[in-house]
Amino acid sequence: MSPVTVLIPTLLRPLVNDRSAVEIPLEAPAPVSALLDTLADGRPVLARRIRDETGALRRYVNIYVDGEDVRRVDGLSTPVAPGSEVMIIQSVAGG
């Protein structure tokens, strides 16, 4: 079993005990949404920061799986393989 490494953006690190990355055990490929479910388990505030109550990824939050923007692949259904690196990052927005 090779864990997935989820990189956490600076602004969300207080919600994961100030860690920059969280490792999530994964035995077989799973969609990003399932990975987020695991990440957010017991962290409801973190869950709300990343996805709204319909389950959609917030408009100005981006997720990359091994460098690929999931919005350019299959959204939150994009598969994540064991050992992958998943990056959560806020997009360039605002003024």
Partner 1 sequence: METTLLAIGTKKGLWLATSTDRQNWTLSQPHHLMSEIPSIGIDTREGRTRILVGMMDWHWGPTVVYSDDLGATWSEPEQGAIKFAESDDTALGRIWQLQPDSTDRPGVVWAGCEPISVWKSIDGGQHFELNRGLWDHPHRSEWGAGFGGAAAHTVMPSPVDDTVHVAMSTGGVYRSTDGGQSWEPRNKGISAYFMPDPNPEFGQCVHKIARDSENPQRLYAQNHHGVYRTDDGAETWESIADGLPADFGFVVLSHPRRGGTAWVIPLKADGERIPPDARLAVHRTDDAGATWTRLDNGLPASEYNAVLRDAAGVDTAEPVGVYFGTRGGSVYASADEGETFTEVAAHLPDVLCVRAAVVVGAAAGVGSP
Closest CA to 57 of 47, 67, 66, 65: 47
Which of 11, 17, 18, 28 lies at the binding interface for partner 1 (CB under 8 A)? 11
Nearer Cβ to partner 1 (21/60): 60
* Binding residues for partner 1 restricted to 34-93, rule: CB under 8 A: 44-45, 48-50, 52-56, 58, 60-61, 90-91, 93
Tell me how far apart the terminal alpha carbons of the chain are, to the nearest angstrom. Answer: 43
Q: How far is the CB of 93 from partner 1 (least distance, A)?
A: 6
**Structure letter (DSSP) for residue 3:** P
